[in-house]
Amino acid sequence: MAKVLVVTSGKGGVGKTTSTAALGAALAQAGQSVVVIDFDVGLRNLDLVMGAERRVVFDLINVVQGVAKLSQALIRDKRLENLWLIPASQTRDKDALTDEGVRRVINELRTKFDWILCDSPAGIERGATLAMRYADEAVIVTNPEVSSVRDSDRIIGMLDSKTAKAERGERVEKHLLVTRYDASRASRGEMLSIDDILEILATPLLGIIPESQDVLRASNVGCPVTLNNTNSAPSRAYMDAVRRLMGETVPMTVPVERKGLMNRLLRRRAA
């Protein structure tokens, strides 16, 4: 049965789009059929991070408003044949999305895909509430930093009250994804630790994505990080997270960069 997953955070710049692309690609790499939808109307970026920006013809708004058919707006990934993208509109504003239109699109996608990933815009306005509206599960992306944790708390409150599932008296299953984590700074008490964040937000942990240069490198070339360098630390962390999403029990670790011999020698000398 299809699962609708919203990737949300409240705060901007914490890694929602990066995580949507990485989780979507990792699910597809695991053999699932996946569609990722950009809900950031007016400021679309998922197409760019996925490297499909030059192939956009129709978008989510066109489908919601009945101007285009769903099949016309679906863009197939060039690398993975079971990964698809529905881009957001770059020109309209967020009011162009309607609750009824989004419901219709999601219901149609449910019949075609295993996973429907909704990349939420930042904030708590219409775009963000509609992205989470029909979700079965939610990934809350949080940085180990006070403003991000505060906004995540707010979003968790909304997931528990403003979603269709919550209104039916059911629960949206929530998962916390901590990104840009620096284990050594956390161990020195310079950064909120995973335990701190979990205690404050009281939400089950899906994964810990370490701060890494590989993330920017992947977005520079328009490739989800899990596809760009399968062995990098963030890739392994996203892949572990996806195995947990699919119901596997995977021990929680913070993957570290695998340094070459030269790197290690240089580091030692510098320290």
Partner 1 sequence: MMNLLRLMSGRSGSAPVARERLQILLAHERGVGGSGAPELLELLRSEILAVVSKHVDLDPEKVVVKLDRGKFVSMLEVDIEVPNAAQRSKLVAAT
Measured from the CB atom, is 62 or 163 closer to partner 1? Answer: 163
Is 193 an interacting residue with respect to partner 1 (CB under 8 A)?
yes
Rounded distance, CA 26 to CA 243, Å?
Answer: 9
Which of 186, 208, 215, 239 lies at the binding interface for partner 1 (CB under 8 A)?
Answer: 186
Is 4 an interacting residue with respect to partner 1 (CB under 8 A)?
no
Which of 69, 154, 171, 264 lies at the binding interface for partner 1 (CB under 8 A)?
Answer: 154
Strands of the 205-210 sheet, one edge to the other: 75-76, 83-86, 34-38, 115-119, 3-8, 137-142, 173-181, 205-210
Tokens standing for 77? 């990934």
Is 191 an interacting residue with respect to partner 1 (CB under 8 A)?
yes
| Cβ at position 151, least distance to partner 1 in Å | 10
Measured from the CB atom, is 2 or 198 closer to partner 1? Answer: 198
Is 153 an interacting residue with respect to partner 1 (CB under 8 A)?
yes
Which one, of 133, 50, 57, lies nearest residue 84 by Cα? Answer: 50
Which one, of 213, 211, 206, 214, lies nearest residue 27 by Cα? Answer: 206
Measured from the CB atom, is 75 or 191 closer to partner 1? Answer: 191
Helix (H) or strand (E) holding 205: strand 205-210
Measured from the CB atom, is 108 or 153 closer to partner 1? Answer: 153
| Cβ at position 111, least distance to partner 1 in Å | 32
Is 204 an interacting residue with respect to partner 1 (CB under 8 A)?
no
> Using CB under 8 A, which of the segments 38-46, 185-193, 204-212, 239-247 binds partner 1?
185-193
Measured from the CB atom, is 126 or 236 closer to partner 1? Answer: 126
Is 170 an interacting residue with respect to partner 1 (CB under 8 A)?
no
> Using CB under 8 A, which of the segments 52-60, 81-89, 114-122, 150-158 binds partner 1?
150-158
Which of 1, 66, 169, 188 lies at the binding interface for partner 1 (CB under 8 A)?
Answer: 188
Number of residues located near partner 1, criterion CB under 8 A: 22
* Helix, strand or coil, per DSSP, at residue 11: coil
Is 173 an interacting residue with respect to partner 1 (CB under 8 A)?
no
Cβ neighbours for 225, distance < 8 A, ≥ 6 positions apart: 18, 21, 22, 214, 215, 218, 219, 232, 234, 235, 238
Is 125 an interacting residue with respect to partner 1 (CB under 8 A)?
no
Alpha helices in the chain (DSSP H): 16-29, 46-49, 60-64, 70-73, 99-110, 126-133, 146-159, 164-167, 183-187, 194-201, 213-220, 225-228, 233-245, 261-270
What's the length of the chain? 271
Cβ pair 96, 41 in contact under 8 A: yes
Task: Tell me how far CA of residue 104 lies from CA of 57, 97, 203, in angstroms.
Answer: 21, 12, 30
Is 124 an interacting residue with respect to partner 1 (CB under 8 A)?
yes
Residues within the interface to partner 1 (CB under 8 A): 124, 145-146, 149-150, 153-154, 156-158, 160-161, 186-193, 196, 200
